[in-house]
Amino acid sequence: MNQFKFFSSLCLFFLLSGFQQLSFAQGNTGFLAGTGVMWYQGDLSEKLDKVFSKTSSFKPFVRVGVVNRIFSHAEMSINFMHGSVAADDARATEKDNLLRNQSFKSSINELAVHFEFSLRNLNRRPVVNPFIYGGAGAFKFNPKALYNGRWYELHPLGTEGQNITEVTFNKPYSLTGISFPVGIGISIQPSPKWRIRVDYGHHKTNTDYIDDVSTFYVDSALLASAPYGLLTVALANRRLEPLYPPAGRSRGNPKMKDSYSHIGISVIFNPGTPGGGRGKRGGLLGITRKKHDVNDACPGF
């Protein structure tokens, strides 16, 4: 089964469960919407051990989701994120990366299930609450490159020999992949029905082709004989050198999978009847509570 379809079905199951929860325990379920910026780490990054590389660009994203409380310190959410990533060797500082001269952009559409653990008791609605989260999902991408004023999809071209049948190269890669988002954040709750969350997340993936770069340069004559011939040759090698690189020269690093990160801000709205509010002397962090507050009503955001 297609990876994205599988996770779509899984998330639909959790989503229906969330709506059922919304009907019977309204204080436990809320709706999320947010935005922020995202960026890429991969073969076109100069420093894979750094959070951000000069060759990458910050791109906007939007997300929506459903959040459901599992117990007092944990929530599960279904998140759909739509955005894009891009990178350009022209901004590199390392000489060989500058000479390689590769660039790309790609849309990112991710559907993921997150499990979030908060430091403070959610049922008591603390004003400030740090959290961490992890999860899994599926995403779609589609790398493109600008050439002679026009954007070309790179996947159909087989720039690393995927369309050559005479010699065994890598098979065409899938435009869907598995993602493993992990992150940290802080939640602020100004009122019983509303929360504001700021978070940083890193999304590991199982693919090395978000940027269409992974292995090595293929012989130019072989590439020219494949479908899209000369266009494939032109986009496989963008080097600022007069000669086509020898076959087998490194184009990327197949041992390192691509990934992407984000910084975002979201709001969560709980349409149900909230309960378990802060006591009169709760203070900024809601540390002091009336004993009957938590149990008298359905817990709310």
pLDDT at 276: 44
Using DSSP bridges, classify how beta strands 259-269 and 29-41 pair: parallel, antiparallel or unpaired. Answer: antiparallel
Task: Give domain status of residue 104, yes or no.
Answer: yes
* Contact call for residues 58 and 68 (beta carbons, < 8 A): no
CA–CA separation, 23 and 101 (whole Å): 55
Among residues 125, 37, 136, 123, the alpha carbon closest in space to that of 78 is found at 136
Mean pLDDT to the nearest integer, 146-158: 97
CATH value at residue 112: 2.40.160.20
Confidence of residue 55 (pLDDT cuts 50, 70, 90): very high
The confidence band for 15, taking pLDDT boundaries of 50, 70 and 90, is low
Q: Could you tell me if residue 301 is inside a domain? A: no
In a domain, 266, yes or no: yes
**Mind listing the pLDDT tens digit for each residue in 199-226?**
999 999 999 999 999 999 999 999 999 8
pLDDT of residue 286: 37
Q: Is residue 207 part of a domain?
A: yes
Model confidence, pTM: 0.84
Mean pLDDT lowest for which of 2-6, 114-118, 224-228, 251-255?
Answer: 2-6
Question: Averaging pLDDT over each range in 28-32, 78-82, 190-194, 280-284, which range is the top one?
Answer: 78-82
Q: What is the mean pLDDT of residues 172-187?
A: 97
Is residue 62 in some structural domain?
yes
Domain carrying residue 259: 3-24+34-296
Tokens of 136: 């899994």
Q: Radius of gyration over alpha carbons of the chain, in Å? A: 23
Count of domains observed in the chain: 1
**Is 12 part of a structural domain of the chain?**
yes
